Amino acid sequence: MEKEKEDGMPLIGDKFPEMSVQTTHGELQLPDEFEDRWFILFSHPGDFTPVCTTEFYGFQKKYDEFQELDTELIGLSIDQVHSHLKWAEWIEDEMGEEIEFPIIADGTGKVADKLGLIHSAGATATVRAVFIVDPESTIRAILYYPAELGRNLDEIVRMIKGFQKSDKEGVAIPADWPNNELIGDNVILPPAGDVETIKERKEAEEKGEIECYDWWLCHRES
């Protein structure tokens, strides 16, 4: 008998939990607000903090790139909405970037607690986390960072591109793609699961349609 999943923070492969959130763009319903689109929810320890400010500036600089990937952004901390609004105003005034995406004001900590984002040292800060959610509202990746280390935004963009290519072409994505040291920007074919597939892979390699280190490690152009 299948074991029922206990309540707790969502995991990769789970549906993003339904919730109503108060944001700088008003009240939103998640994940319905981003139905049929990818979205990235990222939490930060607090407004008006140095590392978080560099991150929000960076996310906004890449906002158009995320939009081109049909991906929305939404931030979160347990600060109040007026703090978010003032901080966003400060970033625009001092750094020249208007924060266009919503920021969840989770003053009660209810949302952060549901997502497992409350810092272990106390309930006064949320951890630096990232949830990548696909158009079917399935959580595809969860990333955590310590307070002293800001996120690599290029990697988050790369992950969205990799997920979308994997879903579209039924392939896997190698390390450091699209600049992998072994196969460049090629993509990896799923491992063969039967003798017939092994035979087909060998024939495809002979025809120059794919390249293989062995039948279980084959790759091709995207």
At 137-166, the pLDDT tens digits run 999 999 999 889 999 999 999 999 999 999
Query: What ranges do the domains of the chain cover?
Result: 19-153, 170-222
Residue 203 has pLDDT above 60, yes or no: yes
β-pairing verdict for 211-214 and 19-23: unpaired
Which among 21, 40, 52, 218 is annotated as catalytic? 52
Confidence at residue 53, expressed as pLDDT on a 0 to 100 scale: 97
Token pair for residue 67? 């939009």
Quickly state the pLDDT bin for 118 (edges 50, 70, 90). confident
Residue 52 annotated among the catalytic residues of the structure: yes
CATH superfamily of 170-222: Antioxidant, Horf6; Chain A, domain2 (3.30.1020.10)
CATH numeric code, 19-153: 3.40.30.10
Give the pLDDT mean for 88-109.
96
Confidence at residue 3, expressed as pLDDT on a 0 to 100 scale: 42
Quickly state the pLDDT bin for 127 (edges 50, 70, 90). confident
H/E stretch holding 196 reads helix 195-206
